[in-house]
Structure 1
Amino acid sequence: MSESVSKSTVKTRRVFYIPGYDPIHPRRYRELYRKEGAAQAQISGYEISLAAKQGGDRYGWQVNGQIDGAQVAAEFEVLVWSDIVRDSMATSIPATYLQMARTAWTYIASGALRRLMWLRKGPVIAALYPVGMLILQLLLALLIGHWAGLGLSKLVALIPAGTEGLWSTIKSLLSTGLYWGIAAIVFVTLMRWFKKQDGKFFAYYLMHDYAYSAASNGANPPELETRLAEFGDVIADALNTGVDEVLIVGHSSGAHLGVTILADLIRAGRVPVHGPELSFLTLGQVVPMVSFLPKADRLRGDLAYLCTRDELAWVDVTAPGDGCAFALCDPVAVSGVAPADKQWPLVFSAAFTQTLSPARWKELRWRFFRLHFQYLCAFDRPRDYDYFQITAGPKTLWDRYQDRNPSNSRIDIAASKYTSVTHGYAPK
């Protein structure tokens, strides 16, 4: 790819979107693309339309774009692992608190937490948020339960004692029993209510997210490895069709899944020499949250391998305004596995404070989870990053960015304590 870059106009494209740790049905991404694509088209002066996918058993949609005087047909597919996510989230409240303790211990004892803070404090704070919120919920439930139980027990104490002896003993036992009974009922009720309201708090969701990788110290669970192999087969099939470009988009946790899928495909010789252009776009990546863990040998090996390959072009886009991503952190370099012949990824910023108007930035600034998805949305002051032109426009990813310089403020120094690698998945 680096020596010979195709300049032909893209007319057909296959796009594979790899979501992050998300239990929601993939139709969410179709509706997001439909809504935000229409908004960006109106702002930027091009045309884009969506239609239902024709045939197949995988979720996706079709896009027709008329951009820069060219017409492009793109077929989208979402590589779904939301079922795995939902299964990993199906835990009780006590199990979640045990998970919290284990996850915190994993990051602290391994030294990963301290080293991650060297890079960006934003995503580390985001990782600590569910710990603090879950502890706060626990303390509030205990405190309110105590007050409720104490109030009723004091009411019992106001009942006239009558004769001393047996009645006094009964009253004392009743008061104690009411305290513990009411306190327990209120505590359990509040804890269940907090969990039901997690669509507002995101404490359980984020805790399960970080715990999923931490449970195996950075190694992929077997069920995820199986799914990644299936994703690889889907992409390999697309590479043997007549399209002009196959574009893999990995968002958030989906970025490091994409690294592994593509590394496996190239190692296995499944990327045809004269096939479509192979492009890899990572958005809002959180690679260090996994690659800094002791047993992430597989991911570190895949990073070290993929960053040298000519079979693809890899562009990594983040923004300092996204507090949930490791903004402008070169995922290969900071993981301590950058070889001398490293050429990928090209790292640059979506620059939210410049590509969003002051009014729009003010509206979104404190909506941290919404900002983490801004890469997939419209910008009202767009510059050279436009998700919809990348996915539905006439240029390949590398044609679009080969003259783009990496951001000067990128972080590309080794920060991980663990740099051991393996090459590919070895089932145990």
Structure 2
Amino acid sequence: MASVSSRLVFYFPGFDPLDAAAHHRRYERSAAQSGKTFGLDYGVGPVQEVEAGSRVEAVSISDGQETKSTIYIHDHNSIISDLRAPPTWKQILLGFKAGAEIITSGAAFRYFRHAWRFGLFFLFPYLLIFTGLLLAALIAVSPLLLHVSPFLCLLSVPAAWLFFDKGVIPFSGRFHTLHLFADWRFALMVGRDEPVARAWIEDKAQKVLLALQTSSDEVLFVSHSMGASLALAVAGRVLELKPDAFDRRNVSFVTLGGAALQCAFIAKATRLRDSIGTLARHGEVTWFDIQCLSDPIHLYKCNTAHLTGHGDAGQPKIVRIKFKHSLSDERYRKNKLNFLRMHRQYVLGSDRKSGFDFTLLTAGPLPAASFVGLKSDVPPAAFQ
């Protein structure tokens, strides 16, 4: 395929507590590492706050060919910060409330039906905190269970509180439990199209339309994890506002470890499912999902369009990779059991040449659509 000279990128990160500046720093590090791996010279400019959003200009040079990529980082860190602001007890209460609503909406059943590992990912933080609460409760009532003086509860109750506050909460923090509670609360907000989520989507859709006024060889929507739901909602809204927005624009829509079904399986996620159908049927869009078995925090082998009632649409194509092909043996051994770390690997730098690399996709000379046919263990022909 011909090289790309100019690219317009809309990047929707996952549920990481990072603002655009922090995502930019991560991108710079990834670009530096991947540049050495693939023999590319990357130049990543600073974040600029413009009317169309947080913009980063990236340039790559390969065999004298220059590719300019204008990258808009559409983070949702302000919402994450608001979700994490309440005191710990309230975050736990709201987290369990969200979990109950995920179950009653039918979404949890669908997770286990179609991707049991993602179902376990859903249950994990709740089981961890529930176990801690149960142990704390047993400590609190231990004098009664042991049939000793009930006045000893004056000691056992404070001991139970200390056990939970100084033991369970710090231990659960190693697994980002409260952050996962916030993630499920946000999934409900997006799925049910609640005002906070809708306002964010409307704002980003307007910014995307503004940025699309700039000409480019290709347009790339790329999202990671929870960002897939947001990217789909924004793209759908863009097409509601301007049905011809993607016409003759060579648009690629790529999800990395995409978890759009996390939100789309919620019963009231009608508008999100409609956006999925709109994008899947758009003739100017090439949509593909990059998935990895080593990452349990997405719905592996699940076709987003098919499972949301759009099986006749023909998109997206599922493209499978293996992180062991892009990481050194040492790095892979170190991180393969750290599920959150592996889930982030889609957007991090590569140690080895392989079929997929985030910086190569978003700032390299190859058209994004060329990655549809990638083989995980085989680098693109231009970089073999």
TMscore range, shorter length: 0.7 to 0.9
- Is 1:376 aligned with 2:353? no
- Is 1:395 aligned with 2:369? no
Gaps of 5+ in 1: 1-6, 155-171, 407-428
The corresponding residue for 1:360 is 331
- 2:290 is matched with which residue: 313, 317, 337? 317
Q: Which has the larger Rg?
A: 1
Partners of 2:63 and 2:332 in 1: how far apart?
A: 28
The corresponding residue for 2:58 is 63
Does the CA contact (< 8 Å) of 1:271 and 1:311 recur in 2?
no
What amino acid sits opposite 1:188 in the alignment? W
- Is 1:53 aligned with 2:26? no
Partners of 2:65 and 2:314 in 1: how far apart?
A: 31
- 1:348 is matched with which residue: 305, 319, 322? 319
Residue 352 of structure 1, CA deviation = 2.1
Residue 356 of structure 1, CA deviation = 3.3
Residue 212 to residue 392, structure 1, CA distance change in 2 (3 Å):
closer
Q: Matches of residues 180-329 of structure 1 in structure 2 within 5 Å?
A: 180-193=153-166, 194-195=168-169, 199-214=173-188, 218-269=191-242, 271-272=244-245, 276-329=249-302
Partners of 1:8 and 1:272 in 2: how far apart?
A: 24
The corresponding residue for 1:385 is 356
Residue 183 of structure 1, CA deviation = 3.1
Partners of 1:264 and 1:135 in 2: how far apart?
A: 39
Specify the SS of the correspondent of 2:70: strand
Identity of aligned residues (%): 24
Normalising by the residue count of structure 1, what TM-score does the alignment of the two structures yield?
A: 0.78
Specify the SS of the correspondent of 2:69: strand
Does the CA contact (< 8 Å) of 1:122 and 1:324 recur in 2?
yes
Greater CA deviation, 317-326 or 39-48?
Answer: 39-48
- Is 1:134 aligned with 2:129? yes
Specify the SS of the correspondent of 2:174: helix
Does the CA contact (< 8 Å) of 2:7 and 2:68 recur in 1?
yes
Does the CA contact (< 8 Å) of 2:254 and 2:289 recur in 1?
yes
Aligned residue pairs, count = 372
Normalising by the residue count of structure 2, what TM-score does the alignment of the two structures yield?
A: 0.86
Gaps of 5+ in 2: 377-384
Residue 358 of structure 1, CA deviation = 3.6
What amino acid sits opposite 1:37 in the alignment? A
Partners of 1:88 and 1:196 in 2: how far apart?
A: 19
- Is 1:17 aligned with 2:11? yes
What amino acid sits opposite 1:233 in the alignment? Q
The corresponding residue for 2:98 is 103
Does the CA contact (< 8 Å) of 1:251 and 1:283 recur in 2?
yes
Residue 54 of structure 1, CA deviation = 4.5
Partners of 1:26 and 1:97 in 2: how far apart?
A: 28
Q: Matches of residues 37-186 of structure 1 in structure 2 within 5 Å?
A: 37-54=31-48, 56=50, 58-67=53-62, 69-144=64-139, 176=151, 179-186=152-159
Computed over aligned residues only, the root mean square deviation of the Cα atoms, in angstroms, reads 2.9
Partners of 1:99 and 1:214 in 2: how far apart?
A: 12
Does the CA contact (< 8 Å) of 2:139 and 2:157 recur in 1?
no
Partners of 1:354 and 1:335 in 2: how far apart?
A: 32
Specify the SS of the correspondent of 2:251: strand
Does the CA contact (< 8 Å) of 1:49 and 1:65 recur in 2?
yes
Specify the SS of the correspondent of 2:50: coil
Residue 274 to residue 264, structure 1, CA distance change in 2 (3 Å):
closer
What amino acid sits opposite 1:59 in the alignment? S
- Is 1:32 aligned with 2:26? yes
The corresponding residue for 2:380 is none
